[in-house]
Amino acid sequence: MLEPNPHAPSVAESLSRVHVIGGRKTPPAEGRTFDVISPVTRRKLAEAAFGTAEDVGRAVASAGTAQKEWAKKSARERGKLVAECGRLLEKHDEELARLVCLETGKAVRTEGRPEAAALADIFNFFGGLGSEIKGQTVPFRPQQLTFTLREPVGVVGAIIPWNVPMMLLALKVCPALVAGNAVVVKAAEEAPFAVLRVAEICAQILPPGVFNLLAGHGPECGAPLARHPDVAKISFTGSVETGRIVNRIAAEKLIPATLELGGKSPMIVMADCDLDKAVEGAVTGMRFSRCGQSCSASSRIFVQAAIHDAFVEKLKARVDNMRMGDPFDQVTDIGTIVSEAQFEKVQNYIRLGEAEEGVTVLRCSALPADPRLAGGLYIQPVLFTGISRDSPLAREEIFGPVACIFKFETLEEALAAANDTRFGLAATLWTKDMKTALAGAHRLEAGFVQVNQNRVVQAGLSYGGYKDSGLGKEATLESMLAHYTREKTVMLNME
Ligand code: NAI
Ligand code: MG
């Protein structure tokens, strides 16, 4: 049972101490490596290449050369190749699902497989959009032909986090490639292997150099990537703090940046809702199966007074039924937190909440009983009620399985409280009343508002935050055109 998949550790081993540059496994220029630790065993899984400015230089040079030829292909042909990658990745879905769980501690049934499926889906989606990279004609004067072109920006730098690394990679790499750019990705230090494997698989289909992947740390590898003079666009997903650093670099260079940052998403539950559906929505919204490690986690739940206690009771019972355990066990719903740093961060918030006066702390589910998992970074899902709306737990992104539940009386009060945050990534509202639903949809300050459902980001749905949650959108045709092409106006005078 504890044996992940004899395959996954050997795949990780095969990608140890390398980047993927120019379509080939390439050792780090300075020969340095760092340990990637399993959050389940807390032992070293494998060593990853410690990328430095020199590796960034090599990858960007490779991308720059490859991009010139890549851009000469028709957009439709590029799309065809990206879709072909999608089909090949689909064939490796189980391997990739297990690999990402090996390094992140996520459960393979509830998280690894859905992520592998989303990865292939995003490649397929963008692969079909090649023909849509088109400009406009402008009826300026009869003797003048005026039109716009959508051209690639050149080499795109992408910096990704560890929570859903393959999916977040695809949301950047696919639109960039289809639009005619080459990409250099910097993986998160916690989870380099699944995305290295994705790059290695894609190298069987794509021309060498259009998709490069570097392992390494943020300041030593991510920052030099953003700073590199030949990187013409930067796309980042991660914390607000690092997003600001990256955006400052982009501002200095006068290049565009797309930023997908954190969240503290509200969920408003009206008394007239379908209670069971709302409870289920809180479970998926909070991403308890991913230990709450989601930027859009519904971590502030506002429940109308009349149903507050019933909601809390049902939610507690529902989460109690989730099983924490070995990520590779088919019955496991919840695996581990990704790293000791995240584990400590989340535990600190929980301790802070427990120390607040008048709070109720409901610990759900149960830590795994198997003694072989005793060292794993498991945290029981926690529901807090009675917490102050000014508490750091209610205001800051915890990125762990911690939900704060608040009681409210009126919709006005709930909307004001929901919007009283520096974040604005997602929001949900639960009601059977159409007027309430529409009022909420208009007034919730978030980039993604859902009524009576709580689905995750999908190819084809515009995704991106308001306020501190980010700049720019991802996952659609329009976002590909806006963020991965530049527009040229052409006027041909025939007078
Ligand atoms: P982070 O934002 O520091 O890391 C994300 C990526 O940025 C990683 O690839 C990292 O190596 C890179 N990076 C770090 N410092 C950099 C720098 N100076 N220049 C360029 N790149 C740099 O996030 P971290 O430290 O993994 O997690 C801290 C918190 O951030 C989490 O607790 C969570 O609240 C939030 N977070 C939000 C995510 C989201 O999806 N919006 C994803 C991951 C974390
Ligand atoms: Mg960080």
Q: Is 256 in the pocket of ligand 1 (CB under 6 A)?
A: no
Q: Is 336 in the pocket of ligand 1 (CB under 6 A)?
A: no
Quick check: 5 pLDDT over 60? no
pLDDT tens, residue by residue, 283-332: 999 999 999 999 999 999 999 999 999 999 999 999 999 999 999 999 99
Closest C-alpha to ligand 1, atom 27: 239
pLDDT of residue 6: 54
Single pTM value for the model = 0.98
Quick check: 417 pLDDT over 60? yes
Q: HEC profile for the chain?
A: CCCCCCHHHHHHHHCCCCEEECCEEECCCCCCEEEEECCCCCCEEEEEECCCHHHHHHHHHHHHHHHHHHCCCCHHHHHHHHHHHHHHHHHCHHHHHHHHHHHHCCCHHHHHHHHHHHHHHHHHHHHCCHHHCCCCEEEEECCEEEEEEEEECCEEEEECCCCCHHHHHHHHHHHHHHCCCEEEEECCCCCCHHHHHHHHHHCCCCCCCCEEEECCCHHHHHHHHHHCCCEEEEEEECCHHHHHHHHHHHHHHCCCEEEECCCCCEEEECCCCCHHHHHHHHHHHCCHHHCCCCCCCCCEEEEEHHHHHHHHHHHHHHHHCCCECCCCCCCCCECCCCCHHHHHHHHHHHHHHHCCCCCEEEECCCCCCCHHHCCCCCCCCEEEECCCCCCHHHHCCCCCCEEEEEEECCHHHHHHHHHCCCCCCEEEEECCCHHHHHHHHHHCCCCEEEECCCCCCCCCCCECCCHHHEECCECCHHHHHHHHEEEEEEEEECC
pLDDT of residue 41: 96
* 7 band by pLDDT with thresholds 50, 70 and 90: confident
User: Ligand 1 centre from 205 Cα, in Å?
Assistant: 30
Cα 50 to Cα 158: distance, rounded to the nearest angstrom = 17
Q: Is 222 in the pocket of ligand 1 (CB under 6 A)?
A: yes
Average pLDDT value for residue range 332-361? 98
Closest C-alpha to ligand 1, atom 8: 188
236: left (phi over 0), alpha (psi -120 to 50) or beta: beta
In the chain, CATH 3.40.605.10 sits at 8-261+469-490
Q: Which two tokens stand for residue 439?
A: 């009022």
pLDDT tens, residue by residue, 202-225: 999 999 999 999 999 999 999 999
| Residue 358 burial (CB count, 10 A) | 8
Quick check: 3 pLDDT over 80? no
Closest C-alpha to ligand 1, atom 43: 238
In the chain, CATH 3.40.309.10 sits at 266-458
pLDDT of residue 2: 45
Quick check: 123 pLDDT over 70? yes
Q: Is 245 in the pocket of ligand 1 (CB under 6 A)?
A: yes
Angle at 290 between CA 288 and CA 293, to 5 degrees: 100
Percent of the chain with pLDDT over 90: 97
Residues 75-88 as b or e (16 or more Cβ within 10 Å = b) = beebbbbbbbbbee
Q: How far apart are the first and last CA of the chain?
A: 78
pLDDT of residue 8: 83
For the domain made up of 8-261+469-490, the CATH class stated in words is: alpha beta
User: Ligand 2 centre from 241 Cα, in Å?
Assistant: 8
The CATH architecture of the domain made up of 266-458 is: 3-Layer(aba) Sandwich (3.40)
pLDDT tens, residue by residue, 256-278: 999 999 999 999 999 999 999 99
- Mean pLDDT score of the chain: 97
User: Ligand 1 centre from 166 Cα, in Å?
Assistant: 15
pLDDT of residue 217: 98
The C-alpha R_g of the chain, in whole angstroms, comes to 23
Residue with tokens 């389940």, as numbered in its chain: 40
